[in-house]
Chain A
Amino acid sequence: MTIEHVLGLVTGILFGFLLQKGRVLRFEKQVAAMLLRDMTILKFMLSAIAVGMVGVAALSSAGVIALNHKPMNLGAVLLGGGLFGVGWGIMGYCPGTSVGALGEGRWHALFAIAGMLTGAALFAEAYPWLKATVLSWADFGKIGLPEALGVSQWLIIVLFWAIVGALFRWFEAKGL
């Protein structure tokens, strides 16, 4: 085990612990979010994002950490995001939560994990073809919203907090 492995393992254990404590590993919670009946998943994700974005913005503008945007490859993100959503709805887990769900005894997640390994292998086979087609349609590169809109990252963060705050109040008022 190198330092890289120790860091990954410790971070993963803490992440898995928090996912489990927030009860977001459950098939029930994921599907209930998609059925718009229980917003536990969104409360968890948006809280993590709202807190995380402040630290990431501060540390990256101070030059301490580097940003690493995923490419805004329009066809790939739209098509891939849509396919992911379809599979997610049927499977009831995402890649990270499937592993955590197995950890809390939901062993049907094993079938989901096996399916995802197969999906990854199929993607590797299809990659040359996808590279020549979908992936080459419209790549806007690794861009952040502040550059794209020409506004300060802090303005976006303040707006994000305001919207998320209103959303949380609405979730609680509706008992979601």
Chain B
Amino acid sequence: MKYQSQDQDGRPWSPYLAGALVGVLAILSAYATTVWMGKTNYLGASTTFVRAAGLIEQQVAAEHVAENVYFTKEKVRVDWQFLFVVGILIGAFLASRLDGSFRLEGVPPIWRDRFGDSVVRRAIGAFGGGVVAMFGARLADGCPSGHGLSGMMQLSVSAFVALAMFFGAGVAVAAFIYRRNKP
């Protein structure tokens, strides 16, 4: 494979093992939140972006945030999921430092092959993609964590449809964007 080099990439675990352990973690977390918080919480990430956006907007336009129906519905506060998302950053940092796979990277290789070395171009792509993806995730009421992992584990009908749409659209867009890249 062109894009990976095992010997320079620390000590990865089998994705089957790491994934199965996430399954165990999700079960334990559902149990622990039920016992200690009185409400079953499932893993998810995208609602935190709404709350974080609300917290930032409050600094400049507190009244506007207070009047917004969606911010009121999702409650702009630092909650369980907010700390969960902060934890992801810390956990990934620890794991990558411990096995030597931490790398500073401004432009990823597949992107460079297609769009060149420009950090500005990558920033525009990442930002623009982020705007569209988060708007979509909030409309669908979940992302690959909330729908993809948690919804699927609960056998939610919405999760099967959402995950199919995520991947279907992703495959179509990736094929279109990177069609000139050599495999």
Contacts and interface: CB of A to CB of B under 8 A. Distances in A.
B63 to A, nearest CB: 14
A90 B128 contact: yes
Contacts of A143: 156-158
B62 interface: no
Contacts, number: 534
A10 interface: yes
B96 A104 contact: yes
B170 to A, nearest CB: 4
Question: Does more than half of chain B's interface fall in helix, strand or loop, or is it mixed?
Answer: helix
Residue in A19, A66, A126, A153 with the greatest tally of chain B CB atoms within 10 Å:
A19
A37 B16 CA distance: 17
Interface string B150-183: 0111111111111111111111111101100001
A65 B31 contact: yes
Contact of A99 (B80, B85, B102): B85
Interface residues on B, range: 35 or more
Contact of B135 (A32, A97, A122): A122
Interface residues on A, range: 35 or more
Contact of B92 (A19, A34, A79, A140): A19
A104 B135 contact: no
Interface in A31-81: 31-38, 40-41, 43-53, 55-57, 59-60, 64-74, 76-81
Interface of B: 1, 3-4, 9, 12-27, 29-34, 36-37, 39-40, 42-43, 45-46, 48-50, 52-54, 56-57, 68-71, 73, 78-96, 99, 101-111, 119, 122-149, 151-175, 177-178, 183
